[in-house]
Amino acid sequence: MSQIHTLEALQKTLRLTPSEMAWHEDSSTVPLAITDHFLSLIDPDDPCDPLRAQVVPTAMENSSRSWENIDPLAEVAHSINPRLVHRYANRVAFLVTDVCPMYCRHCFRRRFTGSLQGPASEDEINQSADYVGEHPEIREILLTGGDMLTLSNNAVEHLIGAFRSRRPDLMIRLCTRYLASDPSRIDCDLINVLRKFNTAPIFIMTQFNHPRELCPESLRAIALFADAGFPLFNQSVLLHGVNDDPEVLAKLCENLLAARVKPYYLFQGDLVSGTSHFRVPLERGIDIFRKLSQLVSGLALPVYAIDLPNGMGKVNIGTSDPVLDEDHSRWTLKTPDGHVVSYPAE
């Protein structure tokens, strides 16, 4: 896999704009890395290309709003150890590695992603697996990061084996964007590794944000998982300048469904530092989702959800009945357990 890591190298392929050239990596950004595969999908003559916007940084990342922070979901406060997050009673997230083949500019976990920590240590894996083994109320684990498929197939097998040795019944969500960023990573050897762990389901959680990402190579990778019996679910992020158009989302969702990937979530952008230029105002997001629901079937319709700030959890916009304040500056949303949370209207 080849990657571009510097603006100078990127300038040879794309004519970078002044805002792109002015970007610099700091404590609130993620590094620059773009795979050759994803770069090949970008129109070099279109500075507003929706795929370009997802991976080419701009100076807008280097500024933040007062309501943004580096850990918008309060994962640190809900962490059992540096790698294991237990925010919901029945599931945990294990941060396998901070490394990605390609760093998305809208990444919400920039407190961790690309921070040069590398894969979890043997002690971190065993400590986390022991914790899951001691808590039967945990039914699911999200193997996430970073992207866990930056690990070798042998390392993937060892990692899953550690958790399944304590909990054969543990359902796994394997979270990866490799199907979009570098689909050649998905091969028969990986499929054979995953098929060894058949005591409970493994769900493949993907992220496609625009229909052009569903190229022939990605469809081939999807088919390898689907043909082997692994259910696939897609989690898109609603992004300004990328997919904030009901027609674009409808095409994405219908194409995903045709490829045997269930459109699962459409996420409102998190309140993470340096991403305000990506976030669609919630009022407009609600309107986009209503129009989307008129264009696609129930099978193709994802849940429009928002992860509330300060670790207050995920809510379905369609069932939480958000209310806009009189001055149109804040939304009020209610969590499933009855808490009232304020969210900026932007």
Q: Is 88 a catalytic site residue?
A: yes
Residue 150 vs residues 5, 126, 139, 155, 266: alpha-carbon distances, Å: 16, 20, 25, 10, 25
**49: annotated active-site residue:** no
**pLDDT for the residue 54:** 98
Catalytic residue, from 49, 83, 103, 104: name it: 104
Catalytic entry in 26, 36, 88, 321: 88
Q: One of 270, 279, 304, 343 is an active-site residue; which one?
A: 270
Strands 140-145 and 171-175: parallel
**Active-site position among 65, 91, 139, 260:** 91
Q: Which of 52, 87, 173, 279 is catalytic?
A: 87
pLDDT at 20 (0 to 100): 96
Is-catalytic flag, 177?
no
Q: Omega into 114 within 30° of 0, i.e. cis?
A: no
What tokens appear for 77 in the block? 């406060």
Structure tokens at 190: 């990986």
Q: Report CA 226 to chain centroid distance, whole Å.
A: 20
Whether pLDDT at 321 is above 90: no
pTM above 0.85, yes or no: yes
pLDDT surpassing 90 at residue 336: no
Q: Is 100 a catalytic residue?
A: yes
Which residue among 105, 109, 177, 251 is the active-site one?
109
pLDDT exceeds cutoff 80 at 132:
yes
Say whether 215 is catalytic.
Answer: no
| Of 71, 147, 244, 307, catalytic | 307
**Does the pLDDT of residue 319 top 80, yes or no?**
no
- Per the annotation, the verdict on 291 as an active-site residue is no
Q: Is 139 a catalytic residue?
A: no
Q: Is 189 designated active site?
A: no
Band the pLDDT of 215: cuts 50, 70, 90.
Answer: very high
Strand runs labelled E in 243-329: 261-267, 303-308, 313-316, 323-324
Condensed to tens digits (0 to 9), the pLDDT of residues 37-96 reads 999 999 999 999 999 999 999 999 999 998 899 999 999 999 999 999 999 999 999 999
104 is catalytic: yes
Banded pLDDT at 25 (limits 50, 70, 90): very high
Mind listing the pLDDT tens digit for each residue in 218-250?
999 999 999 999 999 999 999 999 999 999 999
Percent share of the chain, pLDDT over 90: 86
Give mean pLDDT, residues 278-297.
Answer: 97
- Catalytic residue, chosen from 83, 100, 253, 265, is 100
Dihedrals phi, psi of 52, to nearest 5 degrees: -60, -45
Q: Which of 49, 71, 105, 107 is catalytic?
A: 107
Q: Could you report the per-residue pLDDT of 168-212, keeping only the tens digit for each?
A: 999 999 999 999 999 999 999 999 999 999 999 999 999 999 999
Annotated active-site residue 253? The verdict is: no
Domains annotated on the chain, with CATH: 66-344 (3.20.20.70)
Q: Could you say which of 166, 314, 330, 334 is catalytic?
A: 314
What's the token pair of residue 69? Answer: 């922070």
CA distances from 320 to 156, 227, 281, 331, 345 (A): 38, 37, 17, 11, 16
